[in-house]
Structures are given as structure tokens and as C-alpha cells.
Chains A and B, each alone.
Chain A
Amino acid sequence: MLYFSKIKLSIIYFTIIILSFFSFTNFIENKENFFLSKKVNLGLDLQGGSYLLLEVDPSPIVNQNLQQKLISLRNYFKEKNIKYENLKLVNQSINFILKIEDIESFENFFLDKENSINTYFNQYRSYEMILSLDSGRVKITYSKYGLIEIKKSVVEQSLEIVRRRIDDIGTNDPTILRRGNDRIIVELPGLDDPNRIKKLLGKTANLTFRLVSENEDDFGSEFLFYEDGEAKLRVNKRVVLNGNNLISAQPNFNQQTNQTTVNISLDRAGSKKFARTTQDHVGQRLAIILDNKIISAPVINEPILSGNSSISGNFTSQTATDLALLLRSGALPAPLTVIEERTVGPDLGEDSIKAGAFSLIIGFLLVIIYMIYKYRKLGIVADLALIVNLILLLGILTILEATLTLPGIAGIILTVGMAVDANVLIFERIKEEMKKEASIIHAFDSGYKKAQSAVLDANITTLISALILFALGSGPVKGFAVTLGIGILTTLFSAYFFARHLCSIYAKKNKDNKILI
């Protein structure tokens, strides 16, 4: 156990040197060089920032899709000359009544893998929709996988819009990730007040232009409220123009009227539609509606042909800026809700770093002193191994560009306390062997050999805990699992390669000395 081949030694020391280099790169500023720029990331709890978990609500999309399916069904029945009754949408399901003799053929059609209405997903081995029958009553709802597919596509689209909105606000290094089928994680380092972001993400930002109707007309109308929730207007259900026709939106302050507006320009198709509507309805009012609330409803004074217009309303410069931003980034397919929020102010983060670093130094010194007190010269070996261990740990964290959190720092401190265990196990064993063995070298050798199984067992058990924590933990706790887990690997390395080499040198030099420990 005390013999090291030259190749082995060079690999050991080469690894240590490489990893020391990477732990060192944390302390220099260099963004260009690929190697020098590597750093351990600080978690939101240390650098301050905001974590938001958003969930999409797919129900509007589900209803919208069911509406389309309903139309397709109606067409199918007409084509096949099948009589149906009471075809309507109730509680996210399509319901209707068929004659008993038609049911079988409908079922055959609906559960045919190639049918045009109910898609079959090969990857799930499931249909998009489920059919349930109660004598002549038919009920069609989305299957589990049909819903998953909807959620997936909604999240995919939302992700893009969320990204645009957040980029537009201009925060530092935001992280925007999909999680599961219906969630989005947003991490905003350095942001201590996520209020504005939450507001901007909470709006679907569905913009429509619709004419105000004086009375009930043939296309149908509905009452909509203004944003203050009090005044209301009757507006036509026909949408003249929507947000998809927008190519840009900018806030604007008009010095003559002292009013803040949002200037918009429309694409070619939108300009045409807008020109036609404004020509035909001079003198009428056109309501500008965002998420079913009226922003304003100005009178059309003259036809607008250029495709450039402005939205007036009770804007402050902040609300105008935000509206312009929402319009530019496009509408979300479905509403998003914040279901978890964690925000840490930058000063608390700084305090946490200081407290963490201080307790690390204290813990480290206490352990170092105790080891020297306990084992004298071999204690120094254990302490050197501990220092190398920490350098290796930091180096690996840097190469992985892992995220260091406050619990992660706790994991490092805990590693300091537990890492010496490997050497303690070995030294205690060597002590025992010395009582039996005449030769120092033999005592060291068999000490290492016999301690091996205990060292391995002891560390693997902790590693199992760390792995499970890594798989199931979230956020800061995951950071703890990372440092604890990597700490165990570096502990084994430094005890079994580095410290063992130091011990072999020590034992060989002192082979005639009788009292070593």
C-alpha cells in the first residue's frame, strides 16, 4: 500500500495541480479565456435575486380546442347524415345524444387510429380524447395524454413570450426554463423586487380592437368593463384587429396635450383592415381592449390609412412603457400564475456569504488544531490532506460551474468535519498495527489495507444520502447535496492517494523510530 509507481504519482499530482488551477480561477477576473473564465456560480440565496415558479392554466386553450372539435363533429355528422341532438360544450367536455343504431358506427369512426378528429399518440399508446357512453348520451373529454400535449404546447409557446418580456425589461442573466409539463422556472439574479415582472407575466396581453355598438346588432355584442372596474360599454363581438397584426409598440409623451400614449404600427394586412374599418365607421367609437378590459374607446375622427396609430388612456409613463412592452412581446396563449416565489435581497445574500465564510474558517481552524493536538506529525498530514481536499472540491465545483448556495457552504463545512474521518480510521488502525508489528512500514501498510473496507463503507453511505438529496431536493438544498457528494469523492481521493503518499514518505524516513503516533 505504500508503494507508488511513477505514473501513479504523476497522475495524482497532475490532478491536484489542474484542480488547484481551477479553484484559483475563481479569484481572477477574466471573461475572454475559456479556462480562466470558469467560476463557481453563486445561488440566488447568496447573490440576491428572485425565483419564480409559474404554472400555466390550460383551460382556455382546452375550451378553444373543444370548440373546434365540436365544429368538426358537426360537419362529420352532416356529411354522414347522422342525426344528433343537444350538441354542446359543458364543463370542458363535448356532450350530445345519438340514436342507438348510430352509436356503433360513430364509435368505430372515433376510435379508428386514422380518424381526423381524435388523434392517436403512438408514443403514449393513447388517444387524444376519451369517449364515454351512457345509452344514447355521448361525452367526449380530453384524455390524460391529450391534456399533457396541450399543456406542453402551451408551455412551449409561453416560454418564448416570457423570455421576450423578461429580455425586454433588461435584467441580468435571467434563467428561464421549462419544468415538467405545465411549469416555467424564472430565475432573476440581482432582482430584489419582482413586483413588476410578476405584473408583466401575469397578463396574457390579448389586444383587440372592437367597435362600440349602440345597441344589439346582428353579430352580437357584450358589455365590457374599463380597467377601473366601474364604467362599462357595449362592444361588438367582432374583432376588427388583434395584437398579432402589430409590428411595433412604443411609449410616447405628447408635449402639446401633456398626454402619454402608446404608438403602434401595424403590419400590411392589419393596416388594410384598419383603414377599411376606420373609413366605414367615421364618427363611431372604437374600443381598444386588453385582456377583456377596455383601455380606451376613442371616436374615429377620420380614416387612418397609414397603419400607424396611437393608443391613449390613463397612462403614466410606467404603465405606457409596460403596455408597449407587453404588446411588443405578444400575447401569452394562456394565463400564468406564480405558484412559488422566493426572493432574497442583496444585503441578506452578502450577510449569508460573510457568515458562511466565517463559520467555514472557524470550523476549519478548529478541526486543524484538533487533529494536530491528537496526532502530532500525522495530524499535519491529515490537515494537508484536508486543505488539498478543499482545493479539489472547489476545483471540481468550478469545472462543473456548479451553483453554490448557503446550504452548499454548510455542506463544505460539514465535509471539513467529516473528511478527517477517513484519515482517523486509517491512523487508528495504524496505531493498532504498531502494537503488533515490528516494522513501521508494515504497520502503515497493513493499517491502510485493513482500514480500507471501513473507509469505503462509511463514505458510500453518506454518498447515498447525497445522491438521493440531489435527485429529490430543490434549489438551495440541491446545492448542499452537490457539495456534500463531491466532498466525499475528494475526501476519498485526498485520503487514499495524497495523504497515503505523504504517509509513505513519512514512514520510510522514520522506519527506525519507534514512537510515531
Chain B
Amino acid sequence: MILKLSKDFKFSNNYKKMNIFSFLLIFLSILVLLFKGLNFGVDFKGGTLIEIRSENININIADIRQSLLKMNLGDINVKKFGNENDYLIKIEKTNTNDPNFIKSINEQLISDLNSPLNFRRVENVGPKVSRELLDAGFLAIALSLAAMLFYIWIRFEWQFSLGAIIAIIHDVIITVGIFSFLSYEINLSIVAAVLTIVGYSMNDTVVIFDRIRENLRKYTKVSISEISDISTHETLSRTIITSLTTLLALFSIYIFGGEILKGFSFAMIVGVIVGTYSSIFVATPVLNYTKVNYKTISKEDVENN
């Protein structure tokens, strides 16, 4: 469909429409974030996560809940996890002072469910550590935004910087908004995904910007909206091919990479799609609105020489 896009297609004619669409998405994301919030995992909220595999097919989520409720563990969340007999249990309480905490849960479940259980994974994060991990996560995202801003500012003019950073923030808000909307869990790997999205979105934007700068030098008489269109067209097939190969790799992780990487790869898939869209319809329009022309660039050349 897009591959057969006519050479005369004017991206710039659709900037307004697409920007309204983006604003709407961001607005909705913020609304969802405000009213629904994020579903933080044990990494950031503290608590205990246990992945179990039962050898008895006849147990169900209600049985597991029932058994755990007896133990007075605070908020409990049980769900199926991938395989038919695999369950993921999240418990609000962490008891780091009692070395028998996990063992007692194990014994209670085995006796109540009457089935051999395999504790495949246990994560127990105390409140102090989860707080620190959350702070480190925010710091990492803030730092990467600042670093990108700085990099672009060195390589280009401020208008480009502004465009790129708006696009990145756009991508991050929408990705996180979708996670909030779907109640998907936010854990350490999602922060890694968000950081990679920041890098990817930037990567995509920079390639188009690079071409715009080149074309501004080449066609000094042409308006910025036309230059945007020419540059977007020239880089379009690269944009699509790279997004496609990246998505191929990500879908392969999402489908075959196991339950643990599902959240991560989902976030990346959303990020790559949104990031590709935003390079064309968010970052580039900013150059139009800030009225970039060949003088913006030549000023930079003079400074550099």
C-alpha cells in the first residue's frame, strides 16, 4: 500500500490532519495514565512474584487464590502464564526477614492443591529496592532524552532538536499510554524497551533530518514544505525497509521468545511503529512550523568553518 505511494504524494498536506490525530492520541494516553495509572510489576512496586508449573491439570486459578488467601499475604494476583499448567502469582507482601517465607507458600500450595509444584521463578523485591529501581528507571529515561537533545543540538540546529525531542516524547507517551490502557505490566525490561524506542525513534528521525539538511543546501530556493516532501520520499524506502526488518525481528521475539520477553517485544513493536510514523508526521512538520530555510543551515556552516 504505502510501497506504491505515488511520487507526488504530498506529506506536507497531511501534517495538520496527522498532528490533530497525534494530539488526540497523546491526550487519550494522558487521560488513561491519569485515571487508570500504570500496572507496575514487583520490580517497581515491591512484592513477590512466583511462577509455578503444576503437574496436575485439574487445578485452576481460583484454587490457587483460595489457598494463598489463607496465608494473609495482602493483595494477591494469579494468572495463567503461557503454558497450560503455568501460573504467575503476584503477592503484595514481601517478607525479607523470614527466610522461610517462600518455603511456607510452597508448602501451603502443595498441600492445598494436592499436586507437585515446580517453583520455576521467584522474585522478591523489598520496598527500598523497588523505590530505587523506579528512581533509576526515571533517571535513565530522562538522561537519554537529555543526551539525545544534546547530540542533535550539536549535529543540527535547534529547530531540528525541537522536532526530534517532540517526536520522542510523543512516542514515549503513546507507548506508555497503550501499556496503561491494556493494563500490561511495567517492569525493568519495559524501561529498557522505552530507552531503545528513544534511540530508534531518534535514529529514524535523524536519517530524514540528515536528508533535509542536505536538500536545503542543494535547493536554496525551494520552500521547506517541499523540501520535507522531497526528503521524506527519498528516504521513504529506507524507512520502510528498516522498520520492516526490525519488526520482523521483534515479532519473532514476541511470538517465539517466551513469556518473559512478551512485554518487552510488545513495547518495542509499538515503539517502532509509532516512532516511524512520528519521524514523518511529527518531527518533520516542526521544521515547517519553525520556518527552517537554507539560511538556518548556512549559518551553521559558517559557524563550523
Chain A residues within 8 Å of B, Cβ to Cβ? 45, 53, 55, 192-193, 195, 198-199, 202, 337-345, 347-348, 351-352, 355-356, 358-360, 362-363, 366-367, 370-371, 374, 406-407, 409-410, 413-414, 416-418, 420-421, 424-425, 428, 432, 450, 453-454, 457-466, 468-469, 472-477, 480-481, 484
- Residues 135 to 182 of chain B near chain A (Cβ within 8 Å): 136-137, 139-140, 143-144, 147-148, 151, 155
Q: Which residue of A lies closest to B204 (CB)?
A: A458
CB pair B196 A363 closer than 8 Å: no
CB pair A338 B124 closer than 8 Å: yes
User: Chain B contacts of A466 at CB under 8 A?
Assistant: 199
Bound form: Cα–Cα A468–B250 in Å: 22
Q: Which residue of B lies closest to A374 (CB)?
A: B241
CB pair A462 B196 closer than 8 Å: yes
Q: How far is the CB of B110 from chain A (nearest CB, A)?
A: 14
Q: What are 25 of the A-B contact pairs (CB < 8 Å)?
A: A195-B103, A199-B99, A338-B96, A338-B126, A343-B121, A343-B122, A348-B51, A348-B121, A352-B258, A362-B256, A367-B249, A371-B245, A413-B257, A414-B196, A418-B200, A418-B242, A432-B234, A458-B207, A459-B203, A461-B203, A462-B202, A466-B199, A468-B143, A468-B195, A474-B133
CB pair A363 B252 closer than 8 Å: yes
Bound form: Cα–Cα A481–B189 in Å: 11
CB pair B246 A418 closer than 8 Å: yes
User: If A337-B96, A348-B121, A363-B253 touch, does A407 touch B196 (CB 8 Å cutoff)?
Assistant: no
User: Would you call B128 an interface residue if the criterion is a C-beta within 8 Å of the partner chain's C-beta atoms?
Assistant: yes
User: Would you call B298 an interface residue if the criterion is a C-beta within 8 Å of the partner chain's C-beta atoms?
Assistant: no
Residue of A345, A347, A462 touching B199 (CB-CB under 8 A): A462
CB pair B248 A406 closer than 8 Å: no
User: If A337-B97, A355-B256, A457-B210 touch, does A469 touch B121 (CB 8 Å cutoff)?
Assistant: no
Interface of A is mostly: helix
User: Chain A contacts of B102 at CB under 8 A?
Assistant: 195
User: If A339-B126, A458-B203 touch, does A476 touch B188 (CB 8 Å cutoff)?
Assistant: yes
User: Chain B contacts of A340 at CB under 8 A?
Assistant: 124-126, 129
Q: Which 4 A-B pairs have the closest CB atoms?
A: A417-B249, A465-B199, A363-B252, A355-B258
User: If A347-B120, A462-B199, A474-B188 touch, does A417 touch B207 (CB 8 Å cutoff)?
Assistant: no
User: Chain B contacts of A358 at CB under 8 A?
Assistant: 256
User: Would you call B118 an interface residue if the criterion is a C-beta within 8 Å of the partner chain's C-beta atoms?
Assistant: yes
Q: How far is the CB of A389 from chain B (nearest CB, A)?
A: 13
Question: What mask results when residues 97 to 131 of chain B are scored 1 for a CB within 8 Å of chain A, else 0?
Answer: 10110110000000000000011111111101100
Q: Which residue of B lies closest to A375 (CB)?
A: B241
Residue of A344, A374, A453, A464 touching B120 (CB-CB under 8 A): A344
CB pair B247 A417 closer than 8 Å: yes
* Most chain B Cβ neighbours within 10 Å, of A363, A370, A416, A459: A363
Q: How far is the CB of B226 from chain A (nearest CB, A)?
A: 18
User: Chain A contacts of B196 at CB under 8 A?
Assistant: 414, 462, 465, 469, 484
User: Chain B contacts of A199 at CB under 8 A?
Assistant: 99-100
Residue of B122, B129, B140, B244 touching A472 (CB-CB under 8 A): B140
Q: Which residue of B lies closest to A339 (CB)?
A: B126
User: Chain A contacts of B248 at CB under 8 A?
Assistant: 363, 366-367, 370, 417
User: Would you call B260 an interface residue if the criterion is a C-beta within 8 Å of the partner chain's C-beta atoms?
Assistant: yes
CB pair B99 A338 closer than 8 Å: yes
Residue of B119, B140, B252 touching A362 (CB-CB under 8 A): B252
User: Chain B contacts of A192 at CB under 8 A?
Assistant: 119
CB pair B121 A464 closer than 8 Å: no
User: Would you call B44 an interface residue if the criterion is a C-beta within 8 Å of the partner chain's C-beta atoms?
Assistant: no
Q: How far is the CB of A301 from chain B (nearest CB, A)?
A: 36
Q: Which residue of B lies closest to A475 (CB)?
A: B188
Bound form: Cα–Cα A344–B53 in Å: 13
Bound form: Cα–Cα A374–B3 in Å: 12
Q: List 6 additional A-B contacts (Cβ < 8 Å) besides A352-B260, A461-B203.
A: A338-B99, A342-B123, A360-B252, A421-B245, A469-B192, A472-B137
CB pair A410 B257 closer than 8 Å: yes
Q: Which residue of A lies closest to B257 (CB)?
A: A359
Bound form: Cα–Cα A459–B207 in Å: 10
User: Chain A contacts of B257 at CB under 8 A?
Assistant: 355-356, 359, 409-410, 413
CB pair B246 A469 closer than 8 Å: no
User: Would you call B261 an interface residue if the criterion is a C-beta within 8 Å of the partner chain's C-beta atoms?
Assistant: yes
* Most chain B Cβ neighbours within 10 Å, of A348, A417, A458: A417
Bound form: Cα–Cα A458–B250 in Å: 19
Q: How far is the CB of B150 from chain A (nearest CB, A)?
A: 9
CB pair B124 A454 closer than 8 Å: no
Q: Which residue of A lies closest to B268 (CB)?
A: A414
